[in-house]
Chain A
Amino acid sequence: MARFACPSCGYVYDEDRGDPREGWPAGTPFSEVDPDWPCPDCGVREQQDFEPA
């Protein structure tokens, strides 16, 4: 499964692990994450800005 990184701070969304604290359980494909969901670490960039890592 794929990984996507915040271009601002380097936070990585890993589809295998998801981000359960944010409400994305393990295995949630990145395409199902809300495009307006901001990076949980920096809040500077949103899902639609993330780049494949």
Chain B
Amino acid sequence: MTSASPTTDGQVAGPVQWRDRKRYAWLLGAVIPAVPFLAWGLVTWTGLDAFWFFGPVFVFVLIPLVDLVVGRDPDNPPDEVLEALEEDRYYRWVTYAFIPVQYLCLFWTAWMISRPHLDVADRVGLAVNAGIVAGIAINTAHELGHKRESHERWFARICLAQTFYGHFFIEHNRGHHVRVATPEDPASSRLGENVWEFLPRTVVGSLRSAWALERRRLTRKGGNHLTLRNDVVNAWAMSVVLWGGLLAVFGLGLLPYLVLQALVGIWLLESVNYLEHYGMRRQRLESGRYERVDPSHSWNSNNIGTNVLLYHLQRHSDHHANPTRRYQTLRDFPESPVLPTGYAGMIVLTWVPAVWRAVMDPKVVAHFDGDVSRANLHPRRAQRYLSRHSAGTTRPAAA
């Protein structure tokens, strides 16, 4: 990309040469919802039923391996090209292209499950694969739901209909982004809280928060909040129509598999939420407000595999500083806290809380210079953390 930009003293700086080396890699984002078809191809080709579970292998083995082997993503677009890059419509079309593939995958999965010749394990595999796609669709919805254009916000709702998670884009934009890295945020995990404790808290808390946000907005407008103008209600209505249609066409026997794929999708998305702000806390100012969000309040990762898989979501500090910025323009801030590997590999660590704590707790403690009282502590384990790390806080008095 080439661009010339005037400097503050009116001089025109020389054209900046910068090429987005991931430009065509982003297309892979729209290929990922085709992974369930790949699973089917592998089963047909090899005759091995185990390949029905290729979806989780793709996300939790192959992508983490790419992250470990290919490593970090050095590309950061320079200031001079940001505006042109942001306006390049190719990038938004790449995200829109995800949606038809997502829905093709869902309808195909429902059809496959309804056929008589598969056994229960194969059907579970199909539903899990569709759930992996559904979880990544929540990430696509996240990218689209932050944009000002109203058609993109509608696209976000369409992506979320598959998981009945339409309330997410309200809670995320108006709740999570406002309260991130505070004890009040249901979507910010706490030091000492494991993912299995975090999941119910975030799912229930986010739902309540979305409902409260829409009720407050509609009450201000002076009307009943139980209306289709309520974004939670209209997003859920979409899910009712979608699920109702699928059950009408493929039969009620599909219901447990629809529920399973939604749970897998929600679990995948909330697992990512878990690792984005683990233990981080904004300090309270004298005015009673929280300090402004800055790069130190998000865990980042800049590995190329997960970067492409999740539209730069791991450049999370920049995302929280500039939530309306499109994925292709997000940058890696060298001063932000960094996870040991990509988000996909980090999810694997969350499965065994002892492993997660062994890897992450020392990083959180170091981030707060040994003073865990500044971390977002899980109330049930706060005392244990405070007493274990009290030695670290007793420093010689400043001269």
Segment from B34-42, B69-77, B318-326 that makes contact with A: B318-326
Q: Are B320 and A44 closer than 8 Å at their CB atoms?
A: yes
A52 within 8 A of B: no
* Complex CA–CA separation, A42 to B221 (angstroms): 21
Task: Give which listed residue, A21, A22, A43, A46, contacts B323 with CB less than 8 A.
Answer: A43
B256 to chain A, nearest CB (A): 37
**B62 cross-chain contacts in A, Cβ below 8 A:** none
> With A20-B221, A23-B218, A23-B220 in contact, do A8 and B174 touch (Cβ < 8 Å)?
no
Decide if the interface of chain A is mainly helix, strand, loop or mixed.
Answer: loop
Q: Are A9 and B323 closer than 8 Å at their CB atoms?
A: yes
A41 within 8 A of B: yes
B381 within 8 A of A: no
**A23 cross-chain contacts in B, Cβ below 8 A:** 217-222
Q: How many residues of B contact A (CB 8 A)?
A: 18
Q: How many residues of A contact B (CB 8 A)?
A: 15
* Complex CA–CA separation, A8 to B292 (angstroms): 11
* Complex CA–CA separation, A24 to B323 (angstroms): 23
**A43 cross-chain contacts in B, Cβ below 8 A:** 173-174, 177-178, 323
Q: Are A9 and B322 closer than 8 Å at their CB atoms?
A: yes
B387 to chain A, nearest CB (A): 36
Q: Are B221 and A41 closer than 8 Å at their CB atoms?
A: no
Proximity string of chain B (214-244) to chain A, C-beta cutoff 8 Å, 1 when within and 0 when not: 0001111110000000000000000000000
Best-surrounded residue of B178, B222, B292, B321 (most CB of chain A within 10 A): B178
Q: Are A42 and B217 closer than 8 Å at their CB atoms?
A: no
Q: Are B220 and A44 closer than 8 Å at their CB atoms?
A: no
B399 to chain A, nearest CB (A): 38
> With A38-B178, A43-B174, A44-B293 in contact, do A22 and B324 touch (Cβ < 8 Å)?
no
B216 to chain A, nearest CB (A): 8
* Complex CA–CA separation, A38 to B221 (angstroms): 16
Proximity string of chain A (28-41) to chain B, C-beta cutoff 8 Å, 1 when within and 0 when not: 00000000001011
> With A23-B220, A23-B221 in contact, do A42 and B322 touch (Cβ < 8 Å)?
yes
**A24 cross-chain contacts in B, Cβ below 8 A:** 220
Task: Give which listed residue, B174, B220, B292, B324, contacts A38 with CB less than 8 A.
Answer: B174
Q: Are B148 and A41 closer than 8 Å at their CB atoms?
A: yes
* Complex CA–CA separation, A40 to B146 (angstroms): 10
Q: Are A9 and B324 closer than 8 Å at their CB atoms?
A: yes
**A45 cross-chain contacts in B, Cβ below 8 A:** 292
Q: Are A44 and B218 closer than 8 Å at their CB atoms?
A: no
Q: Which residue of A lies closest to B287 (CB)?
A: A48
Closest 9 pairs between A and B when the two form their complex, measured CB to CB: A23-B220, A43-B177, A23-B221, A42-B323, A38-B178, A43-B178, A9-B324, A42-B324, A43-B173
Which B residues form the contact surface with A (CB < 8 A)?
148, 173-174, 177-178, 217-222, 292-293, 320-324
Please list 8 pairs of residues, one from A and one from B, whose beta carbons are closer than 8 Å in the complex, sorted by A's number. A8-B321, A9-B322, A38-B177, A38-B178, A42-B177, A42-B324, A43-B174, A44-B292
Extra pairs beyond A43-B174, A45-B292 (13, CB < 8 Å): A21-B217, A22-B217, A23-B217, A23-B218, A23-B220, A23-B221, A23-B222, A24-B220, A38-B174, A38-B177, A41-B148, A42-B177, A42-B324
